[in-house]
Amino acid sequence: MKSNFLKLTLAVLLASSLFTSCDKNKEEANDEEVITTMKLTFVPVGGGSSLIYEFNDLDGPGGAAPTQDEIILAPSKTYNVTLQLLNKTETPAEDITVEVREESDAHRFYYETSPGSSITISGLDNDVNGVPLGIASTWTTGGAATGSIKITLRHYPAVPPNKAAGDLANSSKSSTDIEVIFNTRVQ
């Protein structure tokens, strides 16, 4: 009996040493949901060089704090603005806007300016159902001012999406994917 016991003990120890030697270096896929960057490209109507302003959080949520530009625009001017979402953790950077556009009926960008910012936003592009999407927009500036703008991407999880033109940015039908506040200056 004793020898049986010893044999078993030995087997156990052998088995455990086998287990422990298992390799743990499992390669992992990074989260495909990471969005590091919001990029706004301003093309002035009637000519002039385009402006680019960005929000960047290159290491994703947490870690180093995000960096962001101040949006500086000329007074009494109209800009055609295109918004882009990028994942710069990949090379070349992945353009997330493509995915948003593919499911345009489940997404919507909202642009909310602070009072007195002297910026008016209009001309949002529409989704497949003719409801505002907001990847493209038109910004019109007035006199010199400082203020801020909140850009929110709302996502409709319902299947099929129940997006409607009258939905507000805080509609409980949708939830927030992106929310960035830029300081603005018209000078």
Partner 1 sequence: MLTVFPFILFSLKIIASILLVLFSAFLADAQVCSLTISGHIEDVDTKEKLKAASVTIKETGMQRSTDDKGDFIFSGLCAGNYTLLITHIGCDPVEKKITLQKNYHFDVYMMHSRKELGNVIVEAKKNVANTGFKKDLSGNTLAETTGFTLAEALNKLNGVTMLQSGPTVSKPVIHGLHGNRILTINNGVRQEGQQWGNDHAPEIDPFIADKLIVIKGVDELRYGSDAIGGVILVEPKALRTIPGYTAELNTAYFTNNRQMVVSGLFEQQLKKHPAFHYRLQGTLKKGANVATPDYRLNNTGNEEQSFSLTAGWRKEKFSSELFYSYFATKLGIFTGSHIGNITDLENAIAAPKPDDVFLGQDTYTINRPYQDVTHHLLKSKSVFYKEGQKFTVLVSGQFNQREEYDIVRSSTNTRPQLDLSIYTFSEEISWEHLKKNNFNGVAGISLMQQDNSYSGRYFIPNYFSYSFGGYYLEKWSKHKWELQGGIRYDNKTINTTRLKFNGDTLNYDFNFSTLASSFNAIYKVKTGWRLNTNISLASRAPYVNELLSDGIHHGTATYEKGDINLQTEKSFNITTGINYQNKKNTFSFDVLLYSNHIRDFIYQQPMPEDPVLTIAGAFPLIEYKQTDAGLNGFDISASYKPVPAFEWSSKYAFLNARNKKTDDWLIWMPANRLTNEITYSFKENKAFTNTYISAEMKNVMEQKHVPDESNGKQDYKAPPPAYTLINMNASTKVSVFKVPTTIGIGVRNLLNTVYRDYLNSMRYFADEMGVNVSIRLKFQIL
Q: Name the residues that contact partner 1, by CB under 8 A.
A: 1, 4-5, 8-9, 12-13, 15-16, 19-20, 22, 24, 26, 28-38, 55, 57-63, 65-66, 89, 96, 99-100, 102-103, 106-107, 155, 157-159, 162, 170, 172-173, 175-180
Cβ 159 to partner 1, closest distance in Å? 7
Nearer to partner 1, 144 or 164 (CB): 164
Nearer to partner 1, 70 or 102 (CB): 102
Question: How far apart are the C-alpha atoms of 124 and 139, rounded to whole Å?
Answer: 10
Q: How many CB atoms lie within 10 A of CB 111?
A: 19
Nearer to partner 1, 35 or 186 (CB): 35
Nearer to partner 1, 46 or 63 (CB): 63
- DSSP code, position 104: G
What is the b/e burial string over 118-144, where b = at least 16 CB atoms within 10 angstroms of the residue's CB? Answer: bbebeebeebeeebbbbbebebbbeee
Cβ 158 to partner 1, closest distance in Å? 6
Cβ 20 to partner 1, closest distance in Å? 5
Cβ 186 to partner 1, closest distance in Å? 25
Cis peptide before 161 (omega within 30 of 0): no
Cβ 46 to partner 1, closest distance in Å? 32
Contact 173, 156 (CB under 8 A): yes
Strands 71-73 and 175-186, by their bridges, are parallel
